Amino acid sequence: MHECAALIEEIQELRSKSSISAIQLKKICSTSSKTAEKLAKELWGNQLSGYYFLKDIGETEHGSNCGYVILLREIHHISRDAAALIGGGITELDSIEKKIPSLNFSVMDFSYPVAKLSSPWIEHVMQQFSILFNRIGLPDSPENTFPPLLEAFKNGK
């Protein structure tokens, strides 16, 4: 039970950060095969908040037999004009000529469309995204309620 409490403390610390790196997630999963299996099963069943698993997205340049994951918390804004250009295909030279400052081709972490989701998956992704960010005025749990819960886990209660 102490291992579980230590893992909960580590996860809670990671959740307080704006994002969790793949290295940190790998470390948590390597701690316990049961934890890795539970996370994979939750992801596979689309029960892991903030992530959406797709078994297949059709023909792509870089295919995967493991499926694909949409990171619902990775929100970035681009202009409507930039989105239209990206959808139609744009080169670095085009982005410079059309003066689109939100596009930067010199970074390694570059996002681009890889597939077009069809119905009913697109509606389900939108629903999950809305559920993730839809707060109907409920306050967060008070910080002082977490330590007693953690203590109960540590003591095996």
Q: What's the confidence (pLDDT) of residue 127?
A: 92
Q: pLDDT tens across 38-67, in order? A: 878 888 888 888 888 888 887 766 677 788
Please give the helix or strand (H or E) that residue 68 lies within, else none: strand 68-71
The DSSP letter of residue 106 is T
pTM of the shown model:
0.57
Residue 10: which pLDDT band, with cuts at 50, 70 and 90? low
Q: Is the pLDDT of residue 35 over 80?
A: no
Instruction: List, as one string, the DSSP characters of 107-131.
Output: -SS---------TTHHHHHHHHHHH
* Tens digits of residue pLDDT in 58-95: 776 667 778 888 888 877 777 787 788 877 888 888 87
